[in-house]
Amino acid sequence: MSAPPWLRYLRKWLLSVGVVGLLAAGLLGGTAGTSAAAGSLPCDIYAAAGTPCVAAHSTTRALFSAYDGPLYQVTRASDNTTTDIGLLATGGYANAAAQDTFCANTTCRITKIYDQTSRHNDLNPGPAGTSGMGADRGADAAELSVTAGGHKVYGIWISPGVGYRSNGAASGTATNGQAEGAYMVASGTHVGSACCFDYGNAESTPADTGNGHMDAVSIATTCYFSPCTGNGPWVEADMENGMFQGDNGSNTANAGNNTPFVTAVLKNNGQTTYAIKGGNSQSGNLSTWWNGALPTRGGYTPMHQEGGIILGTGGDNSNWNMGTFFEGVMVAGYPTDAAENAVQANIVSVGYTGETNIPNGPQGTITGPGGQCVDVAADDTGVDGAAVQLWNCQTYAEDQHWTHNSDNSLSTIGRCLDIDGNGTANGTKVELWDCNGVGGQKWVQQSDGSLLNPQSGRCLDSPSGATANGTLLQIYDCNGSAAQKFTLNPPVS
């Protein structure tokens, strides 16, 4: 297939400034290449090296210097309206202010992640798969903000049940043993050991169709093949039915990376060889943790990729894990080390900063009787009707972090604290529901620390003053009891 006109023009321009020559010489790697790489974005660099991007996804920035389209779509909970979030400038950073304005006084979910290539390999919340999990939900759009290029941007906070997938096999992705490469910028602090926080090539349908039918990069604390070095998280290759750290799975040379921002890199020639690399996205070079033969376990030599794209889940829609995604690409062909080094230098030049292990401020905990935190019954569940209870306070549990919105609603993981059926009777359960500004979601903090619901005139309560884990929260007459005292940290102004 001949290259499209824009790609031929890009290659001609890159040749004119000598970028291809620099890549071939390996001069864009490391410190020496930082300033040179900063002028070209990751997909420009890969194209110049002969391994063009076939998918490019990010909620933080453009990955082509000429890209001026949308990055992602958000859907507002209050009226189910959608809008696209684009760039501040061509080839620049996300316009987070547009999201803040659109989602003010309600919550939004990320319901589409646009592919920046001309192939339109967009990602949407995935369907149910053979893992037994239901369909995926979109991430809370405001769950985590960081800084990139000096601008506020939002990452994709993956919780259990959140995930994205292409519609069947994507365009241009590797199939049946073709060579490919991928990278993602993720978090080394918001991680878990369950299956699977992946980005890359997967089955065309959400079903485990056997060894070698996936080729996705992952970062997790999953020691699938022991022994492993340290506690992770490790950059790994999910090639279906195995999270490989190198070799046949176990690879004690893979030391892992727990920095706030991690560049996770995987490449596979589809026939004999694969490589795993990783690095700090804020500084330094990539470390090569494996560069050698594909696993000799049955089915991986050659590979049998199907060309689907996943983000935040496994190939069969195993969506039990957590992670944070900022940007990533998939390329056709086996990338050179020089190209990968140049991409890492460009990522470092972005200057990603911010906390990636807790949900986005100004969220705080709501601490109730016995020093327990207001929590969702099943951790990280964002479904309507999920009960709200008291549990031990944990800083990493996103469903214990709450935003007190300007309309006096209290929201977490994309849902608002609400009265079951907007009831007003004593003993009415308190649950999570879509934020829609109704009276049952309004709470006013009183001077004695109680949380009053203006619609009913009743207070959030822990029945019988109970403080045990799992105590169901209800609404009762305000009587100044200790069971109705809640501390918002930070307090509501």
Residues 339 and 341: their CA atoms lie apart, in Å, by 5
* Domain ranges across the chain: 5-350, 365-489
| pTM of the predicted model as reported, rounded to 2 decimal places | 0.83
pLDDT surpasses 80 at 24: no
pLDDT surpasses 60 at 362: no
pLDDT at 373: 94
Q: What is the pLDDT of residues 60-76, one digit of tens each?
A: 999 999 999 999 999 99
Q: What angle do CA 145, 147, 148 make, to 5 degrees?
A: 125
Tokens 């997909």 appear where?
43
Give the other-Cβ count within 10 Å of 463's Cβ.
13
- Mean pLDDT of the chain, nearest integer: 89
Q: What is the pLDDT of residues 251-300, one digit of tens each?
A: 999 999 999 999 999 999 999 999 999 999 999 999 999 999 999 989 99
Q: What angle do CA 295, 296, 299 make, to 5 degrees?
A: 85
Give the other-Cβ count within 10 Å of 161's Cβ.
23
% of residues, the chain, pLDDT over 70:
90
Cβ atoms 324, 187 nearer than 8 A: yes
> What fold characterizes domain 5-350?
Jelly Rolls (2.60.120)
Average pLDDT over residues 464-484: 92
User: Binning pLDDT at 50, 70 and 90, where does residue 18 land?
Assistant: very low
HSE on the CB side for 328, CA within 13 Å?
35
Question: Residue 297 is encoded by which pair of tokens?
Answer: 């376990």
Cβ atoms 386, 377 nearer than 8 A: yes
pLDDT at 464: 84
Question: Residue 304 is encoded by which pair of tokens?
Answer: 């049998």
Q: What angle do CA 84, 54, 96 make, to 5 degrees?
A: 25
Residues 313 and 238: their CA atoms lie apart, in Å, by 11
Higher per-residue confidence, 98 vs 15: 98
User: Binning pLDDT at 50, 70 and 90, where does residue 401 land?
Assistant: confident
Amino acid of residue 139? A
Q: What is the maximum alpha-carbon separation in the chain?
A: 77
Which of 300-309, 419-428, 453-462 is predicted least confidently? 419-428
Residues 310 and 158: their CA atoms lie apart, in Å, by 13
Cβ atoms 229, 252 nearer than 8 A: yes
Residues in the chain: 493
pLDDT at 440: 93
Which of 7-16, 174-183, 391-400, 412-421 is predicted least confidently? 7-16
Q: Catalytic residue numbers? A: 240, 316
pLDDT at 22: 36
Cβ atoms 250, 226 nearer than 8 A: yes
Residues 2 and 7: their CA atoms lie apart, in Å, by 10
Closest CA to 177 of 276, 294, 95, 59: 294
Q: Which range in 34-38, 132-136, 264-268 is most confidently predicted, on average pLDDT?
A: 264-268
pLDDT at 3: 38
User: Binning pLDDT at 50, 70 and 90, where does residue 32 land?
Assistant: very low
Closest CA to 17 of 31, 32, 5, 28: 28
% of residues, the chain, pLDDT over 90:
74
Average pLDDT over residues 193-206: 97
pLDDT at 411: 87
**Domain 365-489, what architecture?**
Trefoil (2.80)
Q: What is the pLDDT of residues 311-353, one digit of tens each?
A: 999 999 999 999 999 999 999 999 999 999 999 999 999 999 9
Q: What is the pLDDT of residues 335-346, one digit of tens each?
A: 999 999 999 999
Q: Calculate the CA 361 to chain-centre distance.
A: 17
Which neighbouring-strand residues pair with 284? none
User: Binning pLDDT at 50, 70 and 90, where does residue 17 land?
Assistant: very low
Question: Residue 195 is encoded by which pair of tokens?
Answer: 């299956």
Q: What is the pLDDT of residues 368-399, one digit of tens each?
A: 999 999 998 876 777 889 999 999 988 767 78
pLDDT surpasses 60 at 9: no
